[in-house]
Amino acid sequence: MPRYYEEKEEDGRACSGVREDLRQCLLESACVLRENKSPKQCLREGHCKSLQMTFFACKRSMVSARVR
């Protein structure tokens, strides 16, 4: 379950809570623990997909709309 709403250290970056949850999800995944792959590799293979999409949506919401 996501923990981005619980007490966490603020690092000042956008979407820091979701970023931390994604990091924890990857580090605790079987891909990293059992298969000894890097978190980056596991992310590319589709692990923690829902948190990845949440993080993407959060970062995307921070971008200002471009004026045409």
CA distance 51 to 22: 6
Q: Quote the percentage of the chain above a pLDDT of 90.
A: 59
Check residues 38 and 3 and name the one with the higher pLDDT.
38
Judge whether residue 6 has pLDDT over 60. Answer: no
Residue 6 within any structural domain of the chain: no
Average pLDDT across the chain, whole number: 83
Residue 1 within any structural domain of the chain: no
Residue 11 within any structural domain of the chain: no
How many domains does one find in the chain? 1
pLDDT digits (tens, 9 = 90+) for 34-58: 999 999 999 999 999 999 999 999 8
Q: What is the DSSP string of the chain?
A: ---TTS-----SSTTHHHHHHHHHHHHTSHHHHTT---HHHHHHTTTTHHHHHHHHHHHHHHSPPPP-
| Contact by Cβ (8 Å): 47, 31 | yes
Domain range enclosing 56: 16-63
| Contact by Cβ (8 Å): 67, 55 | no
Check residues 10 and 21 and name the one with the higher pLDDT.
21
